Structure 1
């Protein structure tokens, strides 16, 4: 092979690896550029009944993206659906599930369809654009499935990627057959038993009318939303909240929506952005910084300078409990319910401790994320040129970025593996001469 041919092979190999990484980053988005805001493809809204009842009766959930257990901007996960369902008011009697999805993970879709089926409200699936692959059996499993004009459904056999010998390949093929039988059970329940195998093997695309004729949908038509579309979310941390929308003056409605959005963001829990199985990044207890420990010892009046972190925190808890239980004085009884009187100096001390704790937490987060980038550089998973972008991504979506780094092969972005070693290094002229021409002193 000539030098030119070898260079061409290396360039093609690097391009192929870059394409593989790009496809992994996009996962189920395919050629579509993934959005930066979850609100672009997943949202929810509730609205009161048409008869004027102030309680919300109908909720609309929009699934306009792929189905992916990673969550975040990778797609819609069971965690996303669960948060919306948990937030629905008790008064909601019907859910309009609007779908435009290329599909995604089989088991994530199965879990979503069962979560919807278990909910107290009746679910109407409305295919607005496409219900393909895994999205098809979410649509088909609902109490009613409506195909909007011009919409389509696609069904096909499950697929996977495997590597190994013939035995491993046969095991994967048998497993895919089992997954297909599980999918067929969903289609049978909606359309009745039939020979689905040829349709799945051929990757069958169905128009709205053909979907109804096959039995995977109940009718075609236009189904209205539950009200004006309103999504709560930010670019920094994805949140999905339910905002009630009432038919009223536009200005007043906007004000209520903004107030409800602020309340939802403040009260909503902050679970991990990804539902990928596994432990969180924090594997061990974080040590208390010397600054915080010294400050707590001074403020709590602890005499033992060698007190452990656990004992110091226990002393802090005890002090807080004592301060949170004021005596029943006339002044205390005059406070509104839910308020507790506290000494101003104690409050200032607590606020200072909270500030120090927040600073320490931020520093620990920064150090840990810097370490993730250093590890990736050391293992040759990324190059120095991309390290700044990876570090910034860790601040916005750590779980997803760590998962992405784990998929990048070692020693590919920058070769870091030792490839050779020189022994007996010397600058002696005699030694160098002997190494090249032999030791003349030993000649006969």
Structure 2
């Protein structure tokens, strides 16, 4: 979308773009990054906004699915040609210089806007007719604007439906009031209301439950959201006296995935998905501020990794790596990893679902189909029983009965009378005494002589053994180098074929290291030619904005 200042470019796009379609708009980006007002940007805000705009345009050409709108004032002829050859369609919005000047005065645009308008009309962009959007699409009807839709558009994890209420339902058809059904079918957001579900709103729904409720069935279909709001919801569930069963109906991504870990039992519907990744943050400031934010995010990531590990087993370090590369799990993979206990069968009661669609393009992978194979812990999943917070308020779960049975079994085998009062330390002392009585003396070690060695054993001196060990270590290092080179060749070949951009090289290398066979199969399924590998043009003649960009980043050219 090209046009002079005050031509209405942003309004035209907002009125016609569908919800969820990407829009790269300098003015809107500047506002999100702290501008004092529309078109009233400091040099620092302009510099940061240019960087965000460049990254957003690069992401679009790095294989972003679906339509996208790029709003610019003008482009050099060479850039127009390069974009046009790549399939980009242009709209030039030109209401006339008098109209633009009148609008600038009416809405009190900053000083310099009039000069920018006149400069645009002195040298307007020359777009060949074959690159222009057809008249039918150009005249696409304006959408009916509503306040709810406008707020949703500004939230990058928005849905295309009205917010789903957190309903605390007591199924009357069951004939009792022991089970309640709740739903998380929205993003997790501290503002709540039209923005998503807040911990305050979820807590209010829990407070409405009568004391007779002993089982909560929580249905989840959410792209996640704010970490601390999600942690608050997780702990609200852990602290509730009722047992909790989570049913993942469609998606449990980001914060929604660790909320699910609060349950005593996690069921996942066929074809549903789970996604885990590192915590995100946005900050402005100096190097100390950036380091503090990085440290805070590191602590958050470690905390979340322990939540997944407490449910699924494995090592915290491995879960941190799985989060770092953003891991997506299908229904079967979630069960294999221990993040879910079973796939919802036809026999399981399934509550009616509420339709919701989320924009997943904000993540590194837009769903399991576009992601490499996820991390699966080598250890068996954690045994079912109490959820990780055994200290739940008034917790009375079957784990208590299991411990009581174990204690009684030990007393029976040791012959301790039923009326004998023993605490845990005394019981353990009795076990140790019984083990010592049954232990047999260890045999004397045999002398290390040739006649005592098993048949076929060869004796070598320590120097020869050290040489053999060194040679084995060198061979292992060489093999590791060969494996690394082989994986790099696979990823580089995929990049050269245009299957994805160079920015994702490290992510795919990590995926191949974790599961080379699975990641190789994923690479082979990707469609070649999605990413243009040839240069898309240059920025043309520098303007005042480019000079500012160059001063901020030290570059001599920037992507237009």
TM range (shorter): 0.3 to 0.5
| TM norm structure 1 | 0.45
| TM norm structure 2 | 0.36
